[in-house]
């Protein structure tokens, strides 16, 4: 990997900017557009921003190696200034397959966005959202009264999904989590684990009275009438990790965190 053209990107936070200055003279960095590999400095949020920017702007997609200058750093490696060439040579790749969200608004506008962690639908007002849930063209819940609902990938299952009491999905499980947010009716429904080939459609009932927004990771579409969600295998992403990082083990151990 030492011969690959590398780009260096950093979060605007002071720690990440300081680290970027330390690495500025370590390697001959190129632009993101010309790179074979991207080194990202920041936290998990900045990693998601970097991956989304790559999904939107360039082909082919290139591997990303992150170093944590944020808080949790779940998707990042430890920050070290020295030994970058050796670390990159020993990395293990991990594939992330994003979701594709196609949202139709009440005005008929159609917006398609990728989501690496989750797609969530959320009520916009004090009125409870009412949703019809369809799986592979079959209506499985004619009416779900709730604050919202989300679809999470394994990589995102420890994020918003876990906070909403959804299941943690092991990496490589080829599953998606369908998790309600504060469900009111039906009271006993707590969500579902679905194969990742599933096609999920969520239709908003009474959208004028009970408006709902759709969010693909951090990007929001307001006043949606219908949202279709499926895996986008054509845009597979690659994250690089140090051998000792063991992302799959970290995800498993999140189930036992206090």
Q: Pick the catalytic residue from 25, 28, 34, 44.
A: 44
Look at residue 1 in the predicted model and tell me its pLDDT. 42
Strand partners, 103: 111, 227
Are both 113 and 155 inside the same structural domain? yes
Look at residue 27 in the predicted model and tell me its pLDDT. 87
- Token representation of residue 94: 């991990």
Q: Is the pLDDT of residue 47 over 90?
A: yes
Are both 198 and 245 inside the same structural domain? no
Are both 193 and 223 inside the same structural domain? yes
Helix ranges restricted to H, the chain = 14-23, 44-57, 84-90, 160-163, 247-253
Per-chain mean pLDDT for the chain: 92
Gyration radius of the chain's alpha carbons: 20
Residue 62 φ/ψ, nearest 5 degrees:
-120, 160
Q: Is 145 helix (H, G, I), strand (E, B) or coil?
A: strand
Residues 200, 141: Cα–Cα separation, whole Å:
12
Annotated binding site: 44-45, 117-118, 147, 155, 158-163
Look at residue 115 in the predicted model and tell me its pLDDT. 96
Model-level pTM greater than 0.85? yes
Q: What domain count does the chain have? A: 2
Tell me the pLDDT tens digit for each residue of 199-215. 999 999 999 999 999 99
In the residue annotation, 44 being an active-site residue is answered as yes
Look at residue 72 in the predicted model and tell me its pLDDT. 80
Among candidate residues 187, 163, 186, the one with its CA nearest the CA of residue 177? 163
Residues 51, 126: Cα–Cα separation, whole Å:
34
Neighbours of 49 (CB within 10 A): 16
pLDDT, average across residues 193-197: 97
Q: Is the pLDDT of residue 2 over 50?
A: no
Are both 133 and 228 inside the same structural domain? yes
Residue 130 is part of which domain span? 99-234
Look at residue 170 in the predicted model and tell me its pLDDT. 86
How sure is the predictor about 253, in pLDDT bands with cuts at 50, 70 and 90?
confident
Q: Is the pLDDT of residue 22 over 80?
A: yes
- Alpha carbons within 13 A on the beta-carbon side of 239: 28
Are both 43 and 143 inside the same structural domain? no
99-113, 172-186, 197-211, 241-255: range with lowest mean pLDDT: 241-255
Tell me the pLDDT tens digit for each residue of 118-163. 999 999 999 999 999 999 999 999 999 999 999 999 989 988 999 9
Residues 52, 218: Cα–Cα separation, whole Å:
10
Are both 145 and 24 inside the same structural domain? no
**147: domain CATH number?**
2.60.200.30
- State how far the alpha carbon of 123 is from the alpha carbons of 44, 162, 164, 198, 208, in Å: 26, 19, 15, 24, 12
Look at residue 59 in the predicted model and tell me its pLDDT. 72
**Residue 135 maps to a domain:** yes
Annotated binding site for NAD(+): 44-45, 117-118, 147, 155, 158-163
Strands of the 138-146 sheet, one edge to the other: 110-115, 99-105, 224-231, 200-205, 129-135, 138-146
- Token representation of residue 168: 């943690």
How sure is the predictor about 164, in pLDDT bands with cuts at 50, 70 and 90?
very high
pLDDT, average across residues 56-71: 88
Are both 107 and 203 inside the same structural domain? yes
Are both 107 and 182 inside the same structural domain? yes
**74: domain CATH number?**
3.40.50.10330
Q: Is 141 helix (H, G, I), strand (E, B) or coil?
A: strand
**Residue 1 maps to a domain:** no
């Amino acid at each position: 990997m030492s011969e690959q053209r590398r780009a260096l990107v950093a979060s605007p936070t002071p720690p990440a900017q300081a680290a970027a200055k330390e690495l500025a003279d370590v390697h001959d960095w190129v632009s993101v557009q010309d790179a074979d590999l991207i080194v990202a400095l920041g936290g998990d949020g900045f990693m998601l921003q970097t991956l989304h920017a790559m999904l939107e702007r360039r082909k082919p997609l290139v591997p990303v190696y992150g170093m944590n200058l944020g808080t949790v750093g779940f998707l990042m490696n430890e920050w070290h200034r020295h030994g970058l060439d050796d670390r990159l040579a020993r990395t293990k790749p991990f594939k992330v397959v994003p979701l594709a969200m196609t949202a139709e608004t009440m005005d008929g506008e159609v917006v398609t966005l990728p989501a690496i962690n989750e797609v969530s639908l959320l009520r916009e007002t004090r009125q409870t959202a009412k949703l019809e849930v369809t799986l592979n063209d079959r209506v499985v819940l004619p009416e779900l009264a709730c604050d919202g609902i989300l679809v999470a990938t394994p990589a995102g299952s420890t994020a918003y999904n876990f906070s909403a009491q959804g299941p943690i999905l092991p990496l490589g499980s080829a599953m998606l989590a369908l998790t309600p947010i504060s469900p009111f009716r039906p009271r006993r429904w707590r969500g579902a684990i679905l194969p990742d080939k599933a096609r999920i459609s969520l239709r908003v009932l009474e959208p004028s009275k009970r408006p709902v927004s759709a969010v693909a990771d951090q990007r929001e579409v307001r006043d949606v009438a219908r949202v279709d969600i499926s895996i986008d295998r054509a845009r597979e992403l690659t994250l690089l990790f140090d051998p000792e990082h063991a992302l799959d083990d970290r995800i498993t151990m999140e189930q036992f965190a206090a």
